[in-house]
Amino acid sequence: MSRPAVVGRSLRLALGTLTALPVPAVLRVTPGVATGALVLAPLAVLPLGALVGLAVWAGGETPVPSLAVAFVALALLALGSRALHLDGLSDVADGLTASYDRERSLAVMKGGTAGPAGVVAVVLVLGVQAAALATFVGGARSAVIAGTAVCASRAALWITCAGPVPPARPDGLGSTFTRRAPVWWTLLGWAALAGAAALVHPWRGPLAVGLAAFVVLLLVVRAVRRFGGVTGDVFGATIELALATLLLALAGHHN
């Protein structure tokens, strides 16, 4: 398969997995295509980042309270991603609190129903995201930064799917993408994000990126210890936590 063909299939796979955009299905996922989809993850969600940025900017031109605008923007983001990442966050919270038995925790996560811990996790994380995003409502520059944060949060997959991180199950979404992100790309990619974030704020920008990477790494380590590896739910949970961390760390320091 030619390199352009691999890139095209990788982009379609990333779009189909991370967004609700209608794209032709990728019926055969090779290791190269899976790796390419992970590398392109932040780029694939540009439409969602643009949607959030537009909502934040447009909301600032109305008398609607900033917090309400932020919740609308997050609702659009959830619709644009089929709320899969929020579902993953809920399942991981339930799995971590259900039992110290690995198989029991994995069964709870696979069940699909939201328990008390899952509901609380989603409410708290969405609340943090909304409160932080509300500070971005207004100018065009802030809107662009908010949209970019949405894209950057998908770089959580570079850590979650890095070479040393094992899958918790031999099947499912986790087995398709786990161990497909090269370690060198993970390090280089996050370093590049930190450098780009310096354009937002000379030290708070890189700090925000560093904190997001640290939070993602903490959850990945916890998942490996509790579940024996990561799952598709862990992918979603790390994305939501990365977005919350980025927005919170940059709140009020982006104008």
In tens, the pLDDT along 172-201 reads 666 788 999 999 999 999 999 999 999 999
The pLDDT-based confidence of 31 (bands split at 50, 70, 90) is confident
Question: Is 41's pLDDT higher than 70?
Answer: yes
Q: Provide the 10 A C-beta neighbour count for residue 168.
A: 25
Cα separation, 129 vs 144, whole angstroms: 16
CB 93 within 8 A of CB 117: yes
Residue 59 tokens read as 């909301």
The pLDDT-based confidence of 110 (bands split at 50, 70, 90) is confident
Question: Is 253's pLDDT higher than 90?
Answer: no
CB 42 within 8 A of CB 151: yes
What is the model's pLDDT at position 255?
59
What is the model's pLDDT at position 172?
66
Torsion of CA 45, 55, 93, 17, to 10 degrees: -20
Tell me how far CA of residue 211 lies from CA of 122, 164, 169, 178, in angstroms: 20, 21, 28, 23
| Confidence (pTM) | 0.95
Instruction: Considering only the C-alpha atoms of the chain, give the largest distance between any 2 of them, rounded to a whole number of Å.
Output: 53
Count Cα neighbours of 81 within 13 Å in the Cβ-side half-sphere.
Answer: 28
Cα separation, 3 vs 19, whole angstroms: 23
